């Protein structure tokens, strides 16, 4: 690439205060001018192309996410862009000029919701121009989360799984990767229109949690299919109620908190006498347990699937840094379907 002038300052979305109410928290975001930092040895400077907005980003705005950043801070966990400068370490040099998917889970780093982003070179992976901005921006998060969740089902030799938030992006990716492993999926949604949509997409087992026969149907179906793993992105009382209905030795895996409510409603006797368990899944922890070779293989597989269009993530809105706050307000009103993409070029 031709030599690019690195600006002394750049624009970013900044949050100065945490507010529990999500809509109010979004309103606190401001566009600020930041000084371009001097890079440490193993850091790279990325000119951002796009960044995804995920539920984990919104939890960061309210101060509810597991990784606590000092305020003021720039939100955003993942994105895509081009490396325009590197630190002195030879390990970083090969990334110069490359388009990369990138991210951070560090408490002391600004995030990806900015025109430029600094991170460790190990948090970057080159990506082809064949993958459009929206898909590349979220490549490091949703697909790997789905793979990690299915990894649990495979290791426990589950014949079937049940998942709520089945209409979400992770939910649909879970369905794809489960099918590749020969694992049946019981989909749980909240509206009859969602039942119809999922069945039209080829899903055989779809239940409406609002239906009066839901508990009876889930108990029978999970028993018939031996669904011993539950995947929960919602939380609340429904999570516990669903665990009560699963077969003995079932594992309930919590990976999200869309309801904003504590997981509850489970029967202690089910845990004591049916050997059921509740556990959490966080992508960073799962990645830390994998070898670098395995992670690279999984990422390579995901890139190929995205290039071919075999899998995809739905983005319903795009916003510039100037209109991000208004777009985020609309996004928080309905996070069950398409995501929000922030674009910087």
The per-residue pLDDT for range 234-249, each reduced to its tens digit, is: 999 999 999 999 999 9
* CATH 3.90.180.10 domain locations along the chain: 9-138+313-343
Strand, helix or coil at 326? helix
**Is the pLDDT confidence value at 104 over 80?**
yes
* Spatial CB neighbours of 294, under 8 Å, sequence gap ≥ 6: none
pLDDT of residue 44: 97
Domain 9-138+313-343 is in which class?
A: alpha beta
**Angle in degrees, 0-180, between the axes of helices 292-308 and 142-155, rounded to the nearest 10:** 120
pLDDT of residue 153: 97
Q: How many CB atoms lie within 10 A of CB 46?
A: 28
CB 278 within 8 A of CB 241: no
Nearest partner of 116 among 43, 202, 21, judged by Cα: 43
Q: What average pLDDT is seen over the chain? A: 92
pLDDT of residue 313: 86
Q: Cα–Cα distance between 161 and 139 in angstroms, integer?
A: 24
- pLDDT interval class at 3 (50, 70, 90): low
Burial of 309 (0-12, 13-18, 19+ CB in 10 A): exposed
pLDDT of residue 55: 85
Q: Cα–Cα distance between 137 and 147 in angstroms, integer?
A: 17
DSSP code, position 253: E
Token reading at 19: 């507010």
Nearest partner of 257 among 280, 228, 284, 276, judged by Cα: 280
Domain 142-284 is in which class?
A: alpha beta
**Is the pLDDT confidence value at 252 over 50?**
yes
* Spatial CB neighbours of 273, under 8 Å, sequence gap ≥ 6: none
Q: Cα–Cα distance between 293 and 274 in angstroms, integer?
A: 38
**Is the pLDDT confidence value at 158 over 90?**
yes
Name which residue leads in pLDDT, 91 or 217.
217
**Is the pLDDT confidence value at 337 over 70?**
no
Mean pLDDT within 251-262:
90
pLDDT of residue 1: 45
CB 327 within 8 A of CB 319: yes
DSSP code, position 114: B
* CATH 3.40.50.720 domain locations along the chain: 142-284
């Amino acid at each position: 690439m031709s030599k690019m002038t690195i600006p002394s300052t750049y624009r970013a979305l900044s949050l100065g205060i945490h507010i529990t109410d999500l809509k109010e928290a979004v309103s606190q975001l401001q566009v600020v001018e930041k000084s371009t930092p001097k890079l440490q040895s193993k850091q790279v400077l990325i000119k951002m192309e796009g960044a995804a907005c995920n539920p984990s980003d919104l939890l960061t705005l309210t101060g509810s996410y597991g990784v606590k950043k000092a305020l003021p801070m720039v939100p955003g966990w993942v994105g895509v862009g081009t490396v325009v400068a590197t630190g002195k370490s030879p390990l970083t040099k090969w990334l110069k000029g490359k388009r990369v998917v990138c991210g951070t889970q560090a408490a002391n780093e600004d995030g990806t919701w900015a025109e430029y982003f600094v991170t460790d070179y190990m948090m970057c992976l080159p990506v082809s121009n064949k993958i459009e901005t929206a898909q590349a921006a979220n490549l490091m998060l949703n697909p790997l989360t789905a793979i990690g969740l299915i990894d649990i089902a495979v290791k426990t030799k589950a014949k079937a799984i049940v998942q709520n938030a089945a209409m979400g992006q992770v939910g649909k990716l879970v369905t794809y990767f489960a099918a590749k492993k020969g694992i049946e999926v019981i989909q749980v949604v909240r509206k009859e229109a969602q039942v119809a949509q999922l069945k039209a997409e080829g899903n055989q087992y779809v239940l409406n949690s609002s239906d009066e026969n839901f508990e009876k149907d889930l108990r029978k179906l999970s028993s018939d299919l031996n669904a011993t793993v539950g995947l929960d992105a919602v939380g609340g009382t429904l999570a516990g109620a669903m665990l009560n209905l699963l077969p003995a030795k079932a594992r309930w895996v919590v990976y999200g908190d869309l309801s904003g409510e504590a997981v509850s409603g489970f029967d202690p006797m089910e845990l004591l006498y049916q050997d059921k368990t509740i556990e959490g899944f966080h992508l960073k922890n799962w990645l830390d347990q994998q070898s670098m070779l395995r992670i690279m293989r999984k990422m390579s597989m995901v890139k190929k699937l995205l290039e071919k269009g075999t899998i995809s993530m739905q983005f319903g809105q795009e916003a510039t840094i100037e209109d991000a706050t208004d777009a985020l307000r609309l996004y928080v009103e309905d996070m069950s379907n398409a995501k929000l993409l922030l674009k910087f070029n």
